[in-house]
C-alpha cells in the first residue's frame, strides 16, 4: 500500500490542509531551516516511537510541504535517512571492546548489533505501526542497507585483513541480507524473529570466509 505522504501537494498554499495564503511560511524563514534540522526533528519523532507525518513536520518547522519534499525527498526517503543514521549510531555503540580482536571481535560485535536492533523500542513501534513501510525502507537496497554494509565491511577489513577468502564489501552485504531475512522473518509470515539462528548463521558464514 502506497504511503499517503508520497504525493507532493499541487499547491503549497494548502500543504497543511487548512493553510491559507496568509499562513504560508515566508521564503526567508524556509531558507533558515537547514536540512540537518529537518532530519533532527524527524529523528526525534522516530526515537519517541511516533510516526513521521510530513504535513505535521512541515508545519512544525514552518515549511510548506512542497519545500519539505524538495529538501529531503518523500516520506520513505526521509525515513531512510533517519534509519540509516540510527543504524550507524547503534553499530558504533556496540562495537567490540578494544582488547578483543580478530574473528572474535567481529562475531561479538555483530551479535551485539543484532540484539540491539531487536531490542529497540522505536524499531518495534515502526514495525507494529506499518510493517510494509519498514520492509520497503529497511529490507531493500537503500541507505539503511548501505550504511550497515559499509560499517560491517570496515569492521571486517580492520579485524580480518588478509584472512578473508571473499571481498569484504560483498561479504558484509551478504551478512546484512542474511540477518535481515532471519530477524524480520515474522514480517513475512513466520511467528517469531529467528535471532539466535541469525547469529549462528553469521558465525558459520564468517568461519567459512576465513577458512575455518
Max Cα distance, the chain (Å):
69
Residue 85: which residues within 8 A CB-CB, separation 6 or more? 39, 43, 147
Q: What pLDDT score was predicted for residue 39?
A: 96
- Residue labelled with grid coordinates 576465513: 210
Q: What pLDDT score was predicted for residue 98?
A: 74
Residue 141: φ, ψ to 5°:
-65, 125
Q: How does pLDDT run across 141-181, given as a tens digit for each residue?
A: 899 999 999 999 999 999 998 888 889 999 999 999 999 98
Q: What pLDDT score was predicted for residue 25?
A: 52
Residue 31 pLDDT > 50: yes
pLDDT-above-70 percentage for the chain: 82
Q: What angle do CA 29, 51, 32 make, to 5 degrees?
A: 10
Do the beta carbons of residue 32 and residue 13 sit within 8 Å? Answer: no
Average pLDDT over residues 11-21: 33
Q: What pLDDT score was predicted for residue 27?
A: 53
Greater confidence (138 vs 30) lies with 138
Alpha helices in the chain (DSSP H): 27-32, 35-47, 54-61, 65-72, 75-94, 102-118, 121-129, 131-138, 143-159, 168-183, 195-209
Q: What pLDDT score was predicted for residue 38?
A: 96
**What region does 17 belong to: left with phi over 0, alpha with psi -120 to 50, or beta?**
left
pTM (two decimals): 0.81
Q: How does pLDDT run across 108-138, given as a tens digit for each residue?
A: 999 999 999 999 999 999 999 999 999 999 9
| Distance in angstroms (rounded) separating the CA atoms of residues 132 and 146 | 20
Residue 41 pLDDT > 70: yes
| Distance in angstroms (rounded) separating the CA atoms of residues 84 and 151 | 11
Q: What pLDDT score was predicted for residue 195?
A: 87
Do the beta carbons of residue 87 and residue 143 sit within 8 Å? Answer: no
Average pLDDT over residues 28-47: 85
Residue 36 pLDDT > 50: yes
Q: Hey, what's the cell of 188?
A: 513475512
Residue 13 pLDDT > 50: no
How crowded is residue 37: how many other Cβ atoms within 10 Å of its Cβ? 11
Q: What pLDDT score was predicted for residue 124?
A: 92
Average pLDDT over residues 187-210: 84
Residue 16 pLDDT > 90: no
Q: What pLDDT score was predicted for residue 26?
A: 52
Amino acid at each position: 500500500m502506497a504511503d499517503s505522504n508520497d504525493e507532493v501537494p499541487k499547491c503549497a498554499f494548502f500543504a497543511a490542509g487548512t493553510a491559507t495564503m496568509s499562513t504560508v511560511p515566508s521564503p526567508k524563514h524556509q531558507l533558515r531551516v537547514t536540512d540537518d534540522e529537518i532530519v533532527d526533528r524527524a529523528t526525534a519523532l522516530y526515537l519517541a516511537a511516533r510516526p513521521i507525518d510530513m504535513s505535521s513536520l512541515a508545519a512544525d518547522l514552518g515549511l510548506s510541504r512542497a519545500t519539505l519534499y524538495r529538501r529531503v525527498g518523500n516520506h520513505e526517503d526521509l525515513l531512510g535517512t533517519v534509519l540509516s543514521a540510527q543504524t550507524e549510531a547503534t553499530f558504533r555503540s556496540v562495537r567490540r571492546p578494544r582488547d578483543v580482536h580478530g574473528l572474535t571481535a567481529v562475531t561479538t560485535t555483530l551479535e551485539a548489533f543484532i540484539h540491539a536492533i531487536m531490542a529497540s523500542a522505536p524499531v518495534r513501534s515502526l514495525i507494529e505501526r506499518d510493517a510494509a513501510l519498514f520492509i520497503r525502507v529497511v529490507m531493500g537496497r537503500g541507505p539503511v542497507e548501505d550504511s550497515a554494509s559499509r560499517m560491517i565491511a570496515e569492521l571486517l577489513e580492520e579485524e580480518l585483513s588478509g584472512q578473508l577468502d571473499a571481498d569484504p564489501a560483498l561479504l558484509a552485504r551478504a551478512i546484512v541480507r542474511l540477518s535481515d531475512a532471519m530477524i524480520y522473518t515474522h514480517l513475512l509470515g513466520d511467528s517469531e524473529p529467528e535471532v539466535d539462528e541469525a547469529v549462528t548463521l553469521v558465525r558459520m558464514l564468517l568461519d567459512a570466509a576465513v577458512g575455518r
